[in-house]
A and B are shown apart, each in its own frame.
Chain A
Amino acid sequence: MNESVIQPEVRATPSHRLIGTLGLIALLSGLLVVSVFEFTRPYIEKNHRVALERAVFEVIPGAVARREFVLTERGVEPAAPGIAGIVFHAGYDAAGGLRGVAAVAAGRGYADVIRVLYGYDPDCACIVGMKVLESKETPGLGDKIITDARFRANFERLDARLNAAGDGLANAIVTVRQGNRHEAWEIDGISGATISSVAIGRMLNAGAHDLLPRLRPHLDAIRNVE
């Protein structure tokens, strides 16, 4: 906007008034934003907690309680701000027994990055659940990774055993062409959503490969919380 053109006889306002007005408006806005922020914070935190809890319970069948941990260089610690490492959630049943752990895996899909939460049951050494948290995959094609019941059935008992040395997966998790699944560690792909379903296999493999070998020595630590 060029005022000098619109108003030739513009009278300059003293600069202390300009600064004063801007300061006052900024103060008003600040008050407004802070009060709304403080007022809504408990609700927002509750919403986030409920959403996370629902997702964790969905990928760990039988879990009714949840604790958040961080896997660091030193071992497993309860999650707290400022601790860097791989965050994961442990799910417990009503009796307090460990039902599994859930962690986030992410990778490049067809349209953009896909993020999933997967559940791992240490007793059967397998992946027992997978939920897509974030995806922009094509509706009707790529989003079959969310909607397709046959594809979801892959993650009821997906083999994720560790190798003898304990430093990696015994068999890499991999997506195969639709109808060609023969091994317990293979994911039956979706024809028409090849890239999306292959991406899921790849991110699960990478995520499990990073987390599970390092987690195994500390399983007792999270089993014996209370």
Chain B
Amino acid sequence: MQAESLGFIFLNAAIINNFVLALFLGICPFLGVSGKLKTATSMGIATALVMFISSLCAYAINLILLHFDLEFLRLIAYIAVIASAVQLVEMSMKKFSPTLFRALGIFLPLITTNCAILGLALFQTFRDYDFLQSVAYSTGAGAGFLLAIVLMAGLREKLELSDVPSISRGAAMSLMLAGILSLSFMGFAGLGGH
């Protein structure tokens, strides 16, 4: 289908239908780990990495399940495979790149129950993406998540110093900020429409 070129899929996942700001996936880390710019960046990179790996796994699993007509096991298989894939990444990272592990390691277990990961696997299945399209979709989604969480952390760091009413400190303020970010991302809709 010409409407679904690789570039468009990437842009669509990263900006137009940003996983966090438009599809509401991965809200927990987005609100929870966006207090500091540095941690937020690490979290974003780790999530993007896991997204890419689990998207590949999900693609392979789906092929196997379709071959044996076992679609009804899809959800269970996805969640089990994603959890073990993350574990594997964590272990191999620990062995081969301890520096990287120190920077990203603590985030990896948290990411397993992040709905953005499972959401990505499910969406790419629903949309019947082939291998390359899945790769474009998962890199786009990862880039979009990184962008959103970094923007959010930047905003929150600035707000640390400002004087806001005591009741709006914390979650309420973060949600309002997210709303404004989401509003500005709506401006990207229609991108590639012409």
Question: Which residues of the partner chain B approach A1 to less than 8 Å between Cβ atoms?
Answer: 109
**Contact between chains at B3 and A110 (CB < 8 Å):** no
Question: Which residues of the partner chain A approach B3 to less than 8 Å between Cβ atoms?
Answer: 106-108, 113, 203
Interface size class of B (residues with CB under 8 A): 10 to 19
A106 to B12, CA, bound (A): 16
Known: A33-B76, A37-B72. A106 touches B1 (CB 8 A): yes
A198 to B193, CA, bound (A): 9
Main secondary structure of the interface of B (DSSP, over half): helix
Q: Write the chain B residue with the least CB distance to A107.
A: B3
- B160-194: CB near A (< 8 Å → 1, else 0) gives 00000000000000000000000000000110111
A112 to B192, CA, bound (A): 10
Q: Which of A33, A111, A199 is within 8 Å of B16, CB to CB?
A: A111
Closest CB of chain A to B137's CB: distance in Å?
12
Query: Number of A residues contacting the other chain (C-beta, 8 Å)?
Result: 21
**Contact between chains at B193 and A33 (CB < 8 Å):** no
A197 to B193, CA, bound (A): 11
**Contact between chains at B8 and A110 (CB < 8 Å):** no
Question: Which residues of the partner chain A approach B76 to less than 8 Å between Cβ atoms?
Answer: 29, 33
A204 to B17, CA, bound (A): 24
**Contact between chains at B17 and A112 (CB < 8 Å):** yes
Q: Which of B109, B189, B194 is within 8 Å of A111, CB to CB?
A: B189
A107 to B16, CA, bound (A): 15
Q: Which of B4, B12, B73, B190 has the most C-beta atoms of chain A within 10 angstroms of its own C-beta?
A: B190
A109 on the B face (CB < 8 A): yes
Question: Which residues of the partner chain A approach B8 to less than 8 Å between Cβ atoms?
Answer: 108
**Contact between chains at A195 and B1 (CB < 8 Å):** no
Question: Which residues of the partner chain B approach A33 to less than 8 Å between Cβ atoms?
Answer: 72-73, 76
B2 on the A face (CB < 8 A): yes
**Contact between chains at A110 and B189 (CB < 8 Å):** yes
Closest CB of chain B to A226's CB: distance in Å?
32
Q: Which of A34, A136, A138, A199 is within 8 Å of B193, CB to CB?
A: A199
Q: Mark A residues whose CB is within 8 Å of B.
A: 1, 29-30, 33-34, 37, 106-113, 136, 138, 195, 198-199, 203, 206
Q: Mark B residues whose CB is within 8 Å of A.
A: 1-4, 8, 12, 16-17, 72-73, 76, 109, 189-190, 192-194
Pairs A–B under 8 Å by Cβ, sample size 24: A1-B109, A29-B76, A30-B73, A33-B73, A33-B76, A106-B1, A106-B3, A108-B4, A108-B8, A109-B193, A110-B189, A110-B190, A110-B193, A111-B16, A111-B17, A111-B190, A112-B16, A113-B3, A138-B189, A195-B190, A195-B193, A195-B194, A198-B193, A206-B2
